[in-house]
Amino acid sequence: MRRVPTSKVTKPKGRTSLDVGRRVLDIEARAIQALVQRLDSGFSEAVDLLYRCKGKVVVSGMGKSGLIGQKIAATMASTGTPSFFLHPAEGLHGDLGMLARRDVLIAISNSGETQEILQLLPFMERMGIPVVAIVGRKGSTLAKNSAVALDVSVAEEACPMGLAPTASTTASLAMGDALAVALLEKRGFKEQDFAQFHPGGTLGRRLLVKVRDLMHKGQEVPQVEETVVASIAILEMSAKKLGMTTVVDRAGALLGVITDGDLRRFVQQGGDFSKITAGSLASRRPKLIGPDELAAKAVEMMERYSITTLIVADNVKRIVGVVHLHDLLKHGIV
């Protein structure tokens, strides 16, 4: 029996995950760009109010706004503005005791009508604590009862149903970052200050650790007098395992350095280590660094000169130690 051909059913093509991702990023990028256009003198007022705060900057928000608030508080705390997050519901059940009269409250609410946030306002009024509102509705109750209201309204959420806070939370986070960075610059906050709050991080190590903290010193420093034969210098290098040795005069003053590279070049030229002194083999202009220089500077010098060790010397060029690239790597400076 002849088979009757059937028509092929085709399904309409939907958006790919890549299309969805691009759409979300585009919506959120436009939301932040809109903030740039709307930013006005109110932002400067908010920065001045936070800058003049003699106590703590307290950040509060419910739900997703609360999560954004936690990040804003953490950013401010790490950039020179004493800050912490207060959960508004917990605040209403005893944690308001964390606040003092000299504090400032940053209240985050997209609707501006979040009940837990609004219930904090009478307490703020009694305590004389000014409120900076980050809101999505300028005409909201929160906005009307704040010292300054920053408008973070968005044209649409990235969520296709308009339900999950997406673009609105991104806008609130960006506004919080803008406040934190403006305060950072107003305070003259520097890299060294940042490192003080991040001693365990890479930046902290780069900005706090000094050469003296990592250098080899005392008997660990390879050293030979200039008059010994080069073979003695090789033994010293092998014993100290730093790939080099310092060369000094009889008084212990630094004359130069012999490295693995110097040995290789001498061998390539057909040299005899038993017939040359350490002083003759040494490079006479070794790279020096002070013990109180940052370890990060040692890394920069090693990269610039393509070397793996630096002699650590004091102001009169007396040897106080040697720092090796491996030491810097081990301590996370590189």
* Angstrom distance (rounded) from CA 140 to CA 115: 12
CA-nearest of 110, 106, 25 to 63 is 110
Q: Which residues of the chain does CATH 3.40.50.10490 include?
A: 19-189
Q: What is the pLDDT of residue 313?
A: 93
Residue 246 identity (one-letter amino acid): T
Q: What is the pLDDT of residue 15?
A: 82
H or E segment to which residue 176 belongs: helix 167-186
Q: What is the pTM of this model?
A: 0.62
Q: What is the pLDDT of residue 10?
A: 41
Q: Which CATH architecture has domain 19-189?
A: 3-Layer(aba) Sandwich (3.40)
Q: How many CB atoms lie within 10 A of CB 244?
A: 26
CATH number of 211-330: 3.10.580.10
Q: What is the pLDDT of residue 159?
A: 87
Long-range contacts of the stretch 124-131 (C-beta < 8 A, 24+)? 127/99, 127/100, 127/101, 128/101, 129/99, 129/101, 129/103, 129/104, 129/105, 130/49, 130/104, 130/105, 131/104, 131/105, 131/106, 131/107
Show the low-confidence residues of the chain (pLDDT under 70). Answer: 1-13, 189-208, 334
Q: What is the pLDDT of residue 160?
A: 84
- Tokens at residue 262, please? 């110097």
Exposed, middle or buried: residue 219 (CB in 10 Å: 0-12, 13-18, 19+)?
exposed
Q: What is the pLDDT of residue 121?
A: 95
Q: Which residues of the chain does CATH 3.10.580.10 include?
A: 211-330
Q: What is the pLDDT of residue 178?
A: 96
Q: How many CB atoms lie within 10 A of CB 227?
A: 13
Q: Are 244 and 326 in contact (CB under 8 A)?
A: no
Q: What is the pLDDT of residue 197?
A: 54
Q: What is the pLDDT of residue 9?
A: 38
Q: What is the pLDDT of residue 245?
A: 96
